Structure 1
């Protein structure tokens, strides 16, 4: 979900028109509001694909389910009910929530703590939580106090229950949208769709070919204020794309910039030069989480981590009043055909 009203949406679908297409198959699309933002589905209608109304109803049923289970902006969501419960609480949870918790714990362990689902109190402290925005940096004592109330090590799964040893507050905004994209794609596949571009609040995945034989194409947006410019065009087939960035959601105090992306290891906003990072992975959920991990790690440590783990990642770093870009080895190999665009 990645806090839809705050998340920088950098990966954007290119609305290329299908002109002169002589095929009987055609691209259809639908979309609408969700999670404080929007979703968009483009797919190729072939024989055996369910009617558009059925596809839309199935998609929106999943979106509604995710919202009522995982939203941090609904007091009645399952995760908010869990968040209000005291330390020592166990609560029965659906498979989706347990999957996200397991994925979050795995990402945190793999990255030596650069990913954490329990940062909600820190987000509130720094003014980036779902409540009122407070553009004022906390002092050291306030930070130390809140740091005692976070940590995925205090969150555990017991059978079908989610349990916490501290009064933790879980926030799925860093991975829920990627999870939702994967859920929607599985359901569309059950309804006959094999060629698609699915986007939910900026996280997306595409597979198959359009009727003219071309790939689905998306643009990576350059980190510029006030306008959207595609700086790299990618052809996708079976990969999810997620971008995390800090250039749109921040505030300044006494000349210092405070990003909405927090480093779980320090409890403070990131302070390095990395403006945005895009990750491609067959799992959109994992791409979603990894883009956050790499943004937290920064340009040097993040690139080294991506190279070591074989992650396909594209880094946009601030330099001398502008930006420089660099793709990991896996990214450049994956998208070599489109590198010249």
Structure 2
């Protein structure tokens, strides 16, 4: 079967920074760059003895280059790519970044009863989300069953400094990777004594402290529209990581059905519910990154119940025909008194 409408596979950048245009008297430094197939931006209030912008950018670009060498699945020579190419029963030494992310993934997998899973790569490939969009299709039952034999985070284990797998699975850490590096770059800024900053990578974001004049860092959360980008809510942040997951930028349609790039590893199929987008706030950008995926997989009812039970700061946007309905958890409401 062929899709009747095809949407391009693009990075989802859902939390857009609204720092505004600084005038010449505002002592805010900023750098921009490329990472993980997308971009990053960092803004901070300079302090004495901290590196200048050029030196800091070289340091951060070095961090991101090392991370790419460790965790990228888009290059065959990375540590995780070598692990993915190895056969069942492999144990392989891994850098701390990969081990840290897999440990977080294990926690999210356990807490969500398997909804979160970093081994769904074969499903993304089978359904056509890794490669030519013209090849996106609904697979037959036999092909799906075969792919499911190499899916399941219960077959992945961290043993001291090694990563091990029981079956020939592949690991894709993009659901926590950008958030993880937001946290690492935030730590690097604080190492240099920088206390007021905002770090954004591929749409994952963390803001700490304030801009000059005691003004808050402000971000926009997009309305989940297919056609253009519209700010749905403006937030003032101090100390929170922000992540949004949604189904409106990376999907295809067939016979009137929308097939999202977000998969439930328990069924082997894309999520099929009315939840259009969910935003999570958490002190850890990596955990916010993973939790937004968890809630997106669970959907508007189970995801809401999970967020309430685990006291997660979450903002849900549910599709209702051509319109959207939204609601926030009590924790989200408590953390965002400055929302507009």
- Which interval holds the TM-score relative to the shorter structure? over 0.9
User: Is the CA contact (8 Å cut-off) linking 2:72 and 2:78 kept in structure 1?
Assistant: yes
Is the CA contact 1:8–1:246 (under 8 Å) kept in the aligned structure 2? Answer: no
Aligned length: 331
What residue in structure 2 maps to residue 13 of structure 1? 17
- TM-superposed CA distance for 1:20, in Å, is 8.7
SS in 2 for 1:26: coil
Whether the aligned pair in 2 keeps the contact of 1:221 and 1:231 (CA below 8 Å) is yes
Q: Distance in 2 between matches of 1:36 and 1:70?
A: 13
SS at match of 1:216: strand
Q: Distance in 1 between matches of 2:315 and 2:93?
A: 39
Quote the residue 1:268 is aligned against: 269
Which residue pairs with 2:6 in the alignment? none
Instruction: Please say if residues 217 and 236 of structure 1, whose CA atoms lie closer than 8 Å, have aligned partners that are also in contact.
Output: yes
The normalised TM-score by structure 2 is 0.94
Alignment gaps of 5+ in structure 1: none
Shift of residue 19, structure 1, vs aligned partner: 4.8
Question: What residue in structure 1 maps to residue 192 of structure 2?
Answer: 191
Per the TM alignment, residue 115 of structure 1 is displaced from its structure 2 partner at its CA by 0.3
Contact 1:270 1:296 in 2 (8 A): yes
Deviation for aligned residue 1:291: 0.2
Going from structure 1 to structure 2, the CA distance change for 1:20 and 1:76 (only over 3 Å counts) comes to: closer
Partner secondary structure for residue 212 of structure 1? helix
What is the match of residue 121 of structure 1? 122
Q: Which moved more, 1:257-266 or 1:11-20?
A: 11-20
- 1:271-318 Cα offsets, whole Å, 9 max, x none, are 000010000000000000000000000011111110110000001110
Cα deviation for residue 211 of structure 1 reads 0.9
2 CA distance for matches of 1:132 and 1:165?
A: 30
Contact in 2 for aligned 1:58/1:187 (Cα 8 Å): no
Measured after TM superposition, the shift of residue 179 of structure 1 is 0.3
Looking at structure 2, the residues matched to 215 and 328 of structure 1 have their Cα atoms a distance apart, in angstroms, of: 22
Q: Which position in structure 2 is the counterpart of 1:298? A: 299
For residues 58-207 of structure 1, the aligned pairs below 5 Å read 58-129=59-130, 131-133=131-133, 134-207=135-208
Contact 2:198 2:217 (C-alpha < 8 Å) held by counterparts: yes
Q: CA RMSD in A?
A: 1.3
TM-score w.r.t. structure 1 length? 0.94
Aligned mates of 1:19, 1:51 — CA distance in 2: 19
Q: Distance in 1 between matches of 2:298 and 2:52?
A: 45
Q: What secondary structure is seen at the aligned counterpart in 1 of 2:213? A: coil
Q: 1:298 to 1:26 in 2, by over 3 A?
A: same
